[in-house]
């Protein structure tokens, strides 16, 4: 499998020449807004609220992916009273989200932190069967003039009574429990829940042990009814407690969910009904085997003894509540015979099916098994995840033997638990069961037995037992076709294609029309053009409609370089009442040869290069007004394509065959794509319209958006790659897939114009978009790229009423824009794909060996003359004149100095590009130089700390100098020389002595120093209190003493007692090593380099949305600061090992220069070290406090200063990607301008070299066209 390779930062530059063109009279975008009266086809078929291709997401009611109906379990009236037939739910949150009243059961012994199987049914109004609530609510006005009702109002039927168990009635205790008072504070909810439970027990005989819960609103109640409890007893308990529940009194308020708390209460009470009686070894009793529906009463009757005697002979804890089918019980005194379960006759292990109140201890006790035996017997049993949890209905082994089949469950879509599954033939074990009942399209089968293509279905998570079908707690597991990678892509296509659809009916629009003859002129790299659409006649001949006939004649008669393909069908033709049956009939056995012959004849007659079928969709079950054709339709389609392929292969020349595929599991699953692939040259894979106005109100449409109406891209990367994985896993080679891109956007009216993120909301309703209709496409919610570009151009030029802001969202790989055209600011939000984004996607798909891309549609991307006559009085852009606008960089100067001197040699409209080019190239050089800090400079930063520490005593001597040291004012002293002696303030000391032979000088400081000493020490030297101590210190005068030559020289010394010194262990001194700042700056430096390079590229392409002067100002300041750092790096490299001791101060200052230059790039790292001011204290320690390089500290120690502001406006989450280039660069340039013009006081705090280059940039900008 081939994977997408990463794209490194480009370090060389593409200097492209681009001609800029303006649209013609067809007539650009109207500036007078209208809300209706449009003539476009988009308006006629309401494309604003109808997807071009119905959605590509699995939704709530897809029976392959969920057993729920409209987000709730099936109706109790449909499933009946047996919990075994209720809907299985594995997430308590799903119960909470269902607003209907519910009944449910679960294993009360499962731990709350483990997943559990919950069997539930709904008591409220709702639909009986799973039905997709998305497509059946798209009701087109051509079919009826009403809107469909999303909620059925049919009242629920009563629960059907169950059969009597046939046991003698023997009243025993029943238990009622409820959730916490904080949850059931609304007494009406609790009372209603009690009513539902009472109704259940009244209508159900309650055979066996029964633990049932009811949920209504925020209340959860549970009832345990013992095996021999008449249902009337449980009903009476509920009636007696209803009043208390309604008052909301007597409720505890512990921590936990309402379901868990109620379950816990029931479990405690259930355990309290019994006592534990230890077993004693006795003689074997007369025994009988427990059969289905047995109770203590029925067993006593079968033994022929009284119930009291039966309980005397069978003393196990809670025997009547824990009877197991196939276990033995005593009918006389003694122990149960050693009836350890034995394998069945066919070799299958002895099986046992879990019920609600089971736990492993009970099962082992009942069947005389050890824990090791239980685990050993089940190591290959399907779904065995150990004792916690045990799932109701789970089949386990209680003996050695072959693996049993697991229980089969209604609603399961895949795997061995699907209804009607037969065991594999021959020998098999539990691991072989995973292969049974694969999902359509080879989609993932989750551990719960549902099909899907996303992480909740596709991630394997084997449990600790390693048993087949088991998975970790809190996860869904995967048993078949797991993983979400794009596969089947080892081979590249012969040629990577660029297919574009041409909507031949685009002439219906009032503007934005395109003539077929304009295709090649504006899209010279198109490889395939699909003419949309041809139709069928009732006798299965080809029909070219009147509205497209003229364009078709030009299409077939034109001498074009691209592959000319006729497309049949489309959404409207496939679903409209007058035409949908033609496609169903054309592929039937009796018609398919005739239809294929007619198509072949048509291709040859018009010399077409290929044929494409866009039948939407064979086998679909839920398209309004279109009857379900069943599975046979897709098979008929396959057989028709086989016939068509045979005719094409036998034709006079090579012609292609293709079909359109939906990017939706629901609609794609009927297609036998793995069998179609060998017949087809390529598939048109419609990966767009993944989101839209139709998501409104659908809580399942968008993850993390419970109301559905969140601003999401209809072409987002995540969903696109998910459906590409789906189709390649289904058996289609990537080289035969042309991946969809779009030339239109899906627009929305923003609920809050200031909120544009993926969690922000849009307005309108399911079928109504309040977004402005494009004035050419004419429908709110759907707008062409050409219209968006024109709106943006009007806004940039200051056209009255127009405003816009656009940006690129990297996460979703989509372009986004907010805009308005009516003077109300930016009211609408749209996601679309610019040409650059489409090119980037094309590159990614090519790397993944896909066959090409398919664009809907070519006539939506740009402005053209269309089929209208040009007005001779108007000036149109001619491509022959394009050379006048080309910016040829071949002769541009490559440095600031030469560019300023020769600026007149560069065309005025190219000077901004030329300046950016110089800045970007110099930035790359500086970044490369700076990166050398990461290579071999660790030793320099190791020396840095020692250099600073070793300088401390020198600084202390200056601070405490007897003559003028500022530290002396904080002490009293005693002093003595051969000439003087005294004591007092240290500032009054006199150490007079002979210069030639001074003798001893003794100075003693009295401790402690006065208040303020340590503050003064730090202020003057940068040395902290913790770094110093007081001790005696002696210094001898001159060179080594030789008394024979200089008698008495050994007495020439200076002793200072209680003198301030650096602490002896300098390892205890922590000097902030600025290496961390250097390291942390690298990612932001790289990101700015990428932005600079990308911006220059967009300038060259003529598509940048920002002022050239703003771009230059924004990039110049961080560049020049980085260059200052680079110069210091060069100087450090020049200082050799032998010079390092002599030039300690220089090295420290150079390192600080680097640090101060890049602090704005380092973010939190600088703050963690105390900011620039704290770091600058090192310069004070080495005695360079007045160094000119430190003037920048005042700037970089302020997070609001220009360097920080510029980077904050360009980088990160709030930078250019969010704001868009125009606003981000403008804000950054404003921050630079706040420092003033070259020569200002604020700018003088920067280095001389910085100021010189800044002046050059401003001189060049003054000569640019703005």
Peptide bond into 389 cis (omega under 30): yes
Q: Are strands 682-686 and 737-742 parallel, antiparallel or unpaired?
A: parallel
Q: Are strands 478-480 and 444-446 parallel, antiparallel or unpaired?
A: antiparallel
Q: Cα 1174 vs. chain centroid, distance in angstroms?
A: 40
Range from 277-291, 523-537, 814-828 carrying the lowest mean pLDDT? 277-291
Reported as type and span, the H/E element at residue 534 is: strand 528-536
b (16+ CB within 10 A) / e for 238-270: beebbebbbebeebeeeeebbbbbbbbbbbebb
**How far is it, in rounded angstroms, from Cα 854 to Cα 741?**
6
Highest mean predicted confidence (pLDDT) among 574-578, 885-889, 1220-1224:
574-578
Q: Which residues contact 464 (CB under 8 A, 6 or more apart)?
A: 385, 386, 472
**How far is it, in rounded angstroms, from Cα 905 to Cα 13?**
21
Three-state DSSP at 445 gives strand
Q: Of residues 1242 and 956, which shows the higher confidence score?
A: 956
**How far is it, in rounded angstroms, from Cα 244 to Cα 194?**
11
Statement: residue 680 has pLDDT above 70: yes
In the block, which residue shows the tokens 């950054």?
1228
Q: Which of 616, 633, 772, 1184 is catalytic?
A: 616
Mean pLDDT of 721-748: 97
Statement: residue 1103 has pLDDT above 70: no
What tokens appear for 1261 in the block? 């900008």
What tokens appear for 160 in the block? 């059907």
On average, the pLDDT of the chain sits at 78
**How far is it, in rounded angstroms, from Cα 357 to Cα 212?**
11
Statement: residue 511 has pLDDT above 70: yes
How far CA 1236 is from CA of 96, 592, 1026, 1124, 1244, in Å, comes to 61, 79, 43, 20, 10
What residues pair up with 803 in beta bridges, in sequence order?
A: 820
22 and 509 Cβ atoms separated by less than 8 Å: no
Range from 54-63, 538-547, 649-658 carrying the lowest mean pLDDT? 54-63
Instruction: Transcribe 978-1007 into DSSP letters.
Output: SS-EEEEEGGG------SSS---EEEEEPS
Mean pLDDT of 282-307: 89
Statement: residue 1096 has pLDDT above 90: no
- Going by pLDDT thresholds of 50, 70 and 90, the confidence category of residue 972 is very high
**How far is it, in rounded angstroms, from Cα 523 to Cα 520?**
5
Mean pLDDT of 965-976: 93
Q: Of residues 831 and 989, which shows the higher confidence score?
A: 831
**How far is it, in rounded angstroms, from Cα 999 to Cα 1048?**
8
Q: Which residues contact 732 (CB under 8 A, 6 or more apart)?
A: 488, 673, 674, 677, 683
- Tell me the residue length of the chain: 1266
CB half-sphere exposure, 1019, CA atoms < 13 A: 7
Closest CA to 716 of 694, 690, 736: 690
What tokens appear for 427 in the block? 């020998």
**How far is it, in rounded angstroms, from Cα 701 to Cα 695?**
6
Task: Report percent pLDDT > 70 for the chain.
Answer: 72
Three-state DSSP at 497 gives strand
Mean pLDDT of 237-247: 52
763 and 752 Cβ atoms separated by less than 8 Å: no
1166 and 1173 Cβ atoms separated by less than 8 Å: no
Mean pLDDT of 921-945: 67
Range from 289-298, 478-487, 961-970, 1241-1250 carrying the lowest mean pLDDT? 1241-1250
Mean pLDDT of 1043-1068: 79
- Going by pLDDT thresholds of 50, 70 and 90, the confidence category of residue 208 is low
Statement: residue 727 has pLDDT above 90: yes
In the block, which residue shows the tokens 């004419």?
778
Closest CA to 738 of 852, 846, 656, 848: 852
Statement: residue 19 has pLDDT above 90: no
Range from 655-659, 665-669, 970-974 carrying the lowest mean pLDDT? 665-669
Q: What share of the chain is helix, strand, coil (3-state, %, to 5)?
A: 40, 15, 50
**Distinct helix (H) and strand (E) counts, the chain:** 37, 32
pLDDT of residue 154: 34
**How far is it, in rounded angstroms, from Cα 1014 to Cα 1025?**
6
- Answering whether pTM is above 0.85, one says no
Phi-psi region of 984 (alpha: psi -120 to 50; beta: other; left: phi over 0): left
Q: What tens digit of pLDDT does each residue of 164-193 get?
A: 343 333 333 444 444 444 333 445 677 777
Start-end of H helices in 410-504 = 455-458
What residues pair up with 330 in beta bridges, in sequence order?
A: 287
pLDDT of residue 1142: 52
Closest CA to 526 of 502, 507, 550, 543: 502
Q: How many CB atoms lie within 10 A of CB 613?
A: 25
Rounded to a whole number, what is the distance in angstroms from the first to the last CA of the chain? Answer: 51
Q: How many CB atoms lie within 10 A of CB 1164?
A: 8
The rounded radius of gyration (Å) of the Cα atoms in the chain is 42
**How far is it, in rounded angstroms, from Cα 780 to Cα 771?**
5
Q: Which residues contact 1167 (CB under 8 A, 6 or more apart)?
A: none
Peptide bond into 533 cis (omega under 30): yes
Instruction: Transcribe 74-125 into DSSP letters.
Output: PBHHHH-S-GGGSEEE--HHHHHH--S-EEEE--TTS-TTS---EEEEE-SS
Task: Give domain limits for the chain.
Answer: 76-272, 497-860, 896-932+1075-1261, 955-1068
Q: Of residues 998 and 528, which shows the higher confidence score?
A: 528
DSSP label of 178: E
pLDDT of residue 136: 33
1084 and 1207 Cβ atoms separated by less than 8 Å: yes
pLDDT of residue 219: 78
What tokens appear for 776 in the block? 């050419």
101 and 193 Cβ atoms separated by less than 8 Å: yes
Start-end of H helices in 1022-1074 = none
652 and 166 Cβ atoms separated by less than 8 Å: no
Statement: residue 270 has pLDDT above 60: no
The answer to whether domain 497-860 has CATH 3.40.50.920 is no
In the block, which residue shows the tokens 């319209």?
689
- Going by pLDDT thresholds of 50, 70 and 90, the confidence category of residue 1130 is low
Reported as type and span, the H/E element at residue 1110 is: helix 1108-1134
What residues pair up with 801 in beta bridges, in sequence order?
A: none
b (16+ CB within 10 A) / e for 322-348: bbbebbbbbbeeebbeeeebebeeeeb
47 and 372 Cβ atoms separated by less than 8 Å: no
Q: Of residues 253 and 82, which shows the higher confidence score?
A: 82
pLDDT of residue 1173: 46
Is residue 616 annotated as part of the catalytic site, yes or no?
yes
667 and 132 Cβ atoms separated by less than 8 Å: no
Range from 90-99, 549-558, 1097-1106 carrying the lowest mean pLDDT? 1097-1106
pLDDT of residue 738: 98
Statement: residue 1175 has pLDDT above 60: no
**How far is it, in rounded angstroms, from Cα 33 to Cα 44?**
19
Q: How many CB atoms lie within 10 A of CB 1142?
A: 10
Three-state DSSP at 1233 gives helix
Q: What tens digit of pLDDT does each residue of 770-780 get?
A: 999 999 999 99
Statement: residue 808 has pLDDT above 80: yes
Q: What tens digit of pLDDT does each residue of 583-606 get?
A: 999 999 999 999 999 999 999 999
Q: What tens digit of pLDDT does each residue of 82-119 get?
A: 887 888 887 777 777 788 888 888 766 555 544 567 88
């Amino acid at each position: 499998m081939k994977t997408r390779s990463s794209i490194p930062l480009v370090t060389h530059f593409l200097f492209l020449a681009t001609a800029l063109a303006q649209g013609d009279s067809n007539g650009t975008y109207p500036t007078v807004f209208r809300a209706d009266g449009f003539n476009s086809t988009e308006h006629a078929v309401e494309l604003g609220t109808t997807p071009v291709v119905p959605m590509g997401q699995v939704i709530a009611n897809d029976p392959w992916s969920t057993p729920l109906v409209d987000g709730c379990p099936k109706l109790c009236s449909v499933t009946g009273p047996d919990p075994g037939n209720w809907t299985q739910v594995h997430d308590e949150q799903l119960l909470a989200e269902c607003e209907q009243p519910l009944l449910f059961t679960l294993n009360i012994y499962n731990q709350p932190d483990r997943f559990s199987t919950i069997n539930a049914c709904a008591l409220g109004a709702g639909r009986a069967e799973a039905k997709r609530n998305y497509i059946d609510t798209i009701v087109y006005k051509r079919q009826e003039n009403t809107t469909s009702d999303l909620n059925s109002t049919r009242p629920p039927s009563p629960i059907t009574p169950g059969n009597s168990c046939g046991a003698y009635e023997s009243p025993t205790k029943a238990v009622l429990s409820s959730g916490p008072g904080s949850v059931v504070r609304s007494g009406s909810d609790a009372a209603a829940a009690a009513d539902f439970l009472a109704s259940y027990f009244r209508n159900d005989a309650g055979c066996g042990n029964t633990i049932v819960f009811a949920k209504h609103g925020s209340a959860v109640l549970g009832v345990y009814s013992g095996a021999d409890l008449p249902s009337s007893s449980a009903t009476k308990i509920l009636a007696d407690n209803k009043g208390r529940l309604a008052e909301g009194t007597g409720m505890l308020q512990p921590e936990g969910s309402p379901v868990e708390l109620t379950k816990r209460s029931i479990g405690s009470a259930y355990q309290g009904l019994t006592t534990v009686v230890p077993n004693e070894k006795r003689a074997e009793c007369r025994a009988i085997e427990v059969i289905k529906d047995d109770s203590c009463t029925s067993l006593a009757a079968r033994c022929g003894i009284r119930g009291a005697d039966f309980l005397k002979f069978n003393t196990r804890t809670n025997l009547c509540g824990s009877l197991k089918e196939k276990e033995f019980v005593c009918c006389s005194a003694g122990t149960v015979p050693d009836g350890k379960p034995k394998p069945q006759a066919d070799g299958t292990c002895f099986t046992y099916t879990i019920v609600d109140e089971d736990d492993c201890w009970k099962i082992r006790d009942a069947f005389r098994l050890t824990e090791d035996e239980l685990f050993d017997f089940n190591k290959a049993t399907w779904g065995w995840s150990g004792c916690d949890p045990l799932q109701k209905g789970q089949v386990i082994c209680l003996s050695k033997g072959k693996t049993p089949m697991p229980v089969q469950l209604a609603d399961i879509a895949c795997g061995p638990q699907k209804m009607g599954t037969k065991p594999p033939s021959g020998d098999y074990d539990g691991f072989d069961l995973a292969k049974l009942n694969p999902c359509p399209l080879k989609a993932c089968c989750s551990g719960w037995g549902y099909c899907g293509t996303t992480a909740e279905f596709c991630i394997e998570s084997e449990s600790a037992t390693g048993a087949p079908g088991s998975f970790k707690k809190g996860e869904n597991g995967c048993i078949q076709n797991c993983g979400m990678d794009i596969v089947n892509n080892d081979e590249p296509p012969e040629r990577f294609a660029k297919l574009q659809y041409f909507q031949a009916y685009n002439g219906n629009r009032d503007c934005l029309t395109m003539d077929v003859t304009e295709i090649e002129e504006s899209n010279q790299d198109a490889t395939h053009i699909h003419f949309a659409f041809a139709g069928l006649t009732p006798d299965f001949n080809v029909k070219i409609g009147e509205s497209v006939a003229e364009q078709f004649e030009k299409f077939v008669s034109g001498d074009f370089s691209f592959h000319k393909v006729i497309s049949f069908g489309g959404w409207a033709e496939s679903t409209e009442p007058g035409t949908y049956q033609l496609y169903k009939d054309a592929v039937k056995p009796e018609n398919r040869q005739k239809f294929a012959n007619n198509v072949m004849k048509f291709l040859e007659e018009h010399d077409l290069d290929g044929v494409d079928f866009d039948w939407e969709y064979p086998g679909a079950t839920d398209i309004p007004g279109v009857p379900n054709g069943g599975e046979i339709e897709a098979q008929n389609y396959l057989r028709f394509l086989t016939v068509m392929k045979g005719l094409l292969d036998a034709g006079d020349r090579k012609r292609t065959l293709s079909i359109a595929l939906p990017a939706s599991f629901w609609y794609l699953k009927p297609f036998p794509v793995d069998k179609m692939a060998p017949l087809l040259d390529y598939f048109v894979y419609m990966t767009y319209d993944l989101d839209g106005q139709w998501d409104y109100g659908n809580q399942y449409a968008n993850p993390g958006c419970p109301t559905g109406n969140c601003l999401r891209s209809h072409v987002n990367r995540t969903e696109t790659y998910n459906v590409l994985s789906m189709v390649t896993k289904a058996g289609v080679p990537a080289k035969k897939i042309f991946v969809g891109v779009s030339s239109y956007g899906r627009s929305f009216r923003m609920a809050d114009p200031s909120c544009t993120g993926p969690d922000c909301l849009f307005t309108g309703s399911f079928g109504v978009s309040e977004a402005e209709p494009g004035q050419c496409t004419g429908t709110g919610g759907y707008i062409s790229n050409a219209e968006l570009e024109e709106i943006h151009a009007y806004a940039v030029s200051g056209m009255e009423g127009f405003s816009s802001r656009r940006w690129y969202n990297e996460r979703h790989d989509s372009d986004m824009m907010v805009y308005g055209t009516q003077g109300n600011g930016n009211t609408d939000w749209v996601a679309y794909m610019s040409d650059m984004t489409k090119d980037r996607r094309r590159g990614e798909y090519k790397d993944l060996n896909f066959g090409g891309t398919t664009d809907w549609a070519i006539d939506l991307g740009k402005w053209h003359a269309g089929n209208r006559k040009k007005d001779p009085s108007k000036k149109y852009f001619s491509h022959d004149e394009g050379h006048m606008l080309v910016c040829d960089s071949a002769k541009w100067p490559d440095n600031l100095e030469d560019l300023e001197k020769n600026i007149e040699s560069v065309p005025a409209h190219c000077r901004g590009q030329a300046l950016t080019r110089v800045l970007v190239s110099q930035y790359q050089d500086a970044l490369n130089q700076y990166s050398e800090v990461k290579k071999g400079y660790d030793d320099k930063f190791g020396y840095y700390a020692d250099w600073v520490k070793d300088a401390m005593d020198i600084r202390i001597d200056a601070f405490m100098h007897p003559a003028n040291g500022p530290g002396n004012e904080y002490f009293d002293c005693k002093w003595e020389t051969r000439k003087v002696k005294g004591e007092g303030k240290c500032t009054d000391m006199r150490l007079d002595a002979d210069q030639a032979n001074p003798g001893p000088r003794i100075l003693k400081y009295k401790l402690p120093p006065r208040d303020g000493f340590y503050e003064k020490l730090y202020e003057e030297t940068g040395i902290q209190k913790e770094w110093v101590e007081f001790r005696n210190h002696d210094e001898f005068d001159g060179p080594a003493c030789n008394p024979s030559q200089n008698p008495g020289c050994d007495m020439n010394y200076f002793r200072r007692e209680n003198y301030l010194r650096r602490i002896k262990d300098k390892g205890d001194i922590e000097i902030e090593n600025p290496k961390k700042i250097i390291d942390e700056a690298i990612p932001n430096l790289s990101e700015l380099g990428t932005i600079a390079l990308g911006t220059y590229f967009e300038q060259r392409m003529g598509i940048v949305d920002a002022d050239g002067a703003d771009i230059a100002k924004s990039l110049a300041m961080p560049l020049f600061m980085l260059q200052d750092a680079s110069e210091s790096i060069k100087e450090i490299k020049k200082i050799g090992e032998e010079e390092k001791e002599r030039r300690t101060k220089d090295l420290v200052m150079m390192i600080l220069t680097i640090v101060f230059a890049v602090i704005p790039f380092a973010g939190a790292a600088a703050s963690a070290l105390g900011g620039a001011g704290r770091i600058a204290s090192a310069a004070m320690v080495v005695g360079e406090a007045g160094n000119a390089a430190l003037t920048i500290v005042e700037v970089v120690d302020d997070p609001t200063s220009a360097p920080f502001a510029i980077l904050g406006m360009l980088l990160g989450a709030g930078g250019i990607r969010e704001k868009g280039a125009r606003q981000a660069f403008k804000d950054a340039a404003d921050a630079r301008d706040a420092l003033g013009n070259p020569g200002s006081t604020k700018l003088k705090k920067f280095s001389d070299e910085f100021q010189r280059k800044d002046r050059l940039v401003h001189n060049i900008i003054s000569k640019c066209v703005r």
